[in-house]
Structure 1
């Protein structure tokens, strides 16, 4: 399909069923955002021999399935839950709780002074890992079915990403607030880095695949933050980790840099949004 609208020959072949699957899929994606072409395709299909049968089936289905007006609003809830469920299913949610509670126990039971720096170092990769674990064949037994729906692609990924962020951000930030903070950045200092790493993983997913992209971004962050602190010769890991985090996430200028990076990643993600239409890669 070329140009802004579908040519008549393409619509005619779609209506009579002779259009190849790849071209039909491309046309259907175009119809999602082009009301003019959608109306032309609808008219072409109604003009075929199957049009009358389809009209009868449609009327029968609508008559049997259309609820009363008062029942209409809840219909969106099951679809939203179906789309978001893998983001809070399996081992990911217990892992978030384990990270948050583990940091609190380290600080208040074991007396570990570096609990907040350690939490701030790990927290940005938690939503990144959550996105990887909530999307794909490994996470969703209905992945192939989801891949064939109009809401598939980037829209589905963003739905599950929003659920991951909605769960992990408040839990980890609350855990950071109850931890002692001698010299460490604030409990919310990780939020912008975490958002940026998540957007970076989604943007890179268009080239590398989502799981590979999350491994690159999350692993890169952990290596950049933890490796220098663990390699210190004097053994003062907590102090060096706190200094490292202060350099990476502390201060208005640094946070402004993370905000700019998040905006750039969002632009790249928007530019590569069509890559997520090919869900079998991820």
Structure 2
């Protein structure tokens, strides 16, 4: 090497008095330069030197935040919350890509069918996506980071809400973009929103008692059964997407939200039994 750390800087480094950016430069150089390490061993205090190397090892071993986590940190999100959000399984590219593919196919089907009242396939699938996303984001059976999450000093209900908000923002955002691709249907293309909130809130409220797999499965199955029953009636617009059906969905979402708040402490017991 043609450059070495000055001896006075090495003394300051050993005493913990070297300030950035010289400190960072010295750290990087000492890793690769045996000569400067030998000089440091001669001029430095062994105890302080060991502490410095321990600090350097800790910095080198610390995990580097990824792009999404770094963005959350820049937005002012606490580091532990940002880490929990970044570890949400359904925020990974595979899940988001699958959701986008489903929405693209349903939007394409809406454009190719002859129905003019409402894009039925899109409205049927869109409420299920946030429900499935929340189910995949919480619970020992589906979340690969579950054991790490439950030992974090975070209330179980708060952890669930953090993951749920992340899933809803991503899922509803993708659904909203898909809705923009259906301008010909007007407000009918937004009829998925209230059912999506109702299904997600109901699934969460039942999760405290039935678990993160059975609860959303039952809610999703009930939604499919309701759509099949409405289709069997032969009406042009399915009942859940009429004005009356939207009102019922809003009421169900409100009631399920209240029930979820009442059973919020069950999630801590659910976490403990799972671990």
TM score, norm. by length of structure 1: 0.62
SS at match of 2:188: coil
Q: Which residue of 1 aligns with 2:264?
A: 273
SS at match of 1:145: helix
2:237 to 234, 238, 243: 243
Whole-Å Cα distance in 2 between the matches of residues 160 and 254 of structure 1? Answer: 28
Q: Which residue of 1 aligns with 2:132?
A: 129
Is the 2:110–2:121 contact (alpha carbons within 8 Å) kept by the matching residues of 1? no
1:261 to 252, 269, 273: 252
Deviation at 1:187, TM superposition (A): 1.4
Whole-Å Cα distance in 2 between the matches of residues 212 and 188 of structure 1? Answer: 28
SS at match of 2:189: coil
Q: How does 1:170-181 map onto structure 2 within 5 Å?
A: 170-179=173-182
Q: Which residue of 1 aligns with 2:32?
A: none
Unaligned runs of 5+ in 2: 1-54, 60-72
Q: How does 1:11-30 map onto structure 2 within 5 Å?
A: none
Is the 1:124–1:191 contact (alpha carbons within 8 Å) kept by the matching residues of 2? yes
Q: Which has the higher contact order (CA 8 A, sep 6+)?
A: 1
Deviation at 1:146, TM superposition (A): 1.3
| Cα-to-partner distance string for 1:11-66 (whole Å, 9 max, x where unaligned) | xxxxxxxxxxxxxxxxxxxxxxxxxxxxxxxxxxxxxxxxxxxxxxxxxx9xx99x
Q: Which residue of 2 aligns with 1:195?
A: 197
Deviation at 1:177, TM superposition (A): 3.4
Q: Which residue of 2 aligns with 1:112?
A: 113
Whole-Å Cα distance in 1 between the matches of residues 248 and 229 of structure 2? Answer: 22
Unaligned runs of 5+ in 1: 1-60, 66-72, 233-239
Whole-Å Cα distance in 1 between the matches of residues 84 and 152 of structure 2? Answer: 11
Is the 1:131–1:161 contact (alpha carbons within 8 Å) kept by the matching residues of 2? yes
Q: Which residue of 1 aligns with 2:82?
A: 81
Q: Which residue of 2 aligns with 1:145?
A: 148
Deviation at 1:219, TM superposition (A): 1.2
Q: Which residue of 1 aligns with 2:161?
A: 158
Is the 1:225–1:241 contact (alpha carbons within 8 Å) kept by the matching residues of 2? no
TM score, norm. by length of structure 2: 0.63
The aligned length equals 199
Q: Which residue of 2 aligns with 1:212?
A: 214
Is the 2:109–2:121 contact (alpha carbons within 8 Å) kept by the matching residues of 1? no
Q: CA RMSD in A?
A: 2.9
Whole-Å Cα distance in 1 between the matches of residues 155 and 142 of structure 2? Answer: 15
SS at match of 1:99: helix
| Cα-to-partner distance string for 1:96-143 (whole Å, 9 max, x where unaligned) | 1012111233244xx223582111011111100011111123443331
* Alpha-carbon spacing, 1:241–1:80, altered in 2? closer, same or farther (3 Å): farther
Q: Which residue of 1 aligns with 2:46?
A: none
Whole-Å Cα distance in 1 between the matches of residues 183 and 235 of structure 2? Answer: 15
* Alpha-carbon spacing, 1:181–1:118, altered in 2? closer, same or farther (3 Å): farther
